[in-house]
Amino acid sequence: MKNQERPIGIFDSGLGGLTVFKAVRALLPGENLVYFGDTARVPYGTKSAEAVVAFSKEITAFLLEKKIKLLLVACNTASSLALEEIRAVSPVPVLGVIAPGAAEAVAAARPGGRILVTGTSATVASRAYSKALAAAGYKGRVTEKACPLFVPLVEEGWCSKPVAGIVAREYLASFRRSGIDVLILGCTHYPLLKKVIAGVMGPGTRIVDSAKAAADSARRELEARALLNPGRKGRSEFVVSDAPEKFSFLARKLLGIRTGQVLVKRF
């Protein structure tokens, strides 16, 4: 297999990273993609940093066996806690989702405005977004809010049920009149609740998710390394650590992704 034809590896704690997969597939239709969702151990946001690092290394080793040319960590929690550890053991480039998302938020923010970061408890505790925003040159006020129930709502397929709106209002209603001009969806599951979150925040708040920004960063990395696949229609492979039928059903229901057969890899 030529280097350009080798797949891009993408992984997440569950199905939320499919938002990144979909953005990569739209931007790079000729690329072969391998997606791994750690559905047996989702959510990562309530796990210890040591556990997230260990899980991430196991998945990285599995994807490297697939002869990938680039690894895209489509999980904000893993990106915030394990990115450098993954890079230390990976012979291929490793990209996260936090830096691209932060850069897009800075570009969208108004002078004197305020950025609200929503994420898992682990991501918020790491302050990874605050650091990334500062590194991207943002000097305004940043508030971070943990929204741990969002991930199980998505994994249950309840994005459009009334309970999603109740939970979103409980987490975010107090910020509606706080001068928030940009809200970062700091978890790849959260874009599936984007309409609900936008409804709570109102039209004055721009919602930013990192999926498209992460896809753009993957394209730039492959271009720089002359690794773009010239093919027109790439293959897609999906692997999970548990419940493949549920994963396939929700991928189609929530994102319109037809997975075909989903393989299972248990650790």
**So which residues are the catalytic ones?**
75, 187
- Report CA 80 to chain centroid distance, whole Å: 11
Q: CA-CA distance, 68 to 232, in Å (whole number)?
A: 18
Q: What are phi and psi of 232, to 5 degrees?
A: -95, -30
| Torsion angle defined by CA atoms of residues 79, 93, 215 and 22, in that order, rounded to the nearest 10 degrees | -80
Query: Are 81 and 45 in contact, with CB atoms under 8 Å apart?
Result: no
Q: CA-CA distance, 80 to 223, in Å (whole number)?
A: 25
Residues 6+ apart with CB under 8 A from 130: 117, 142, 144
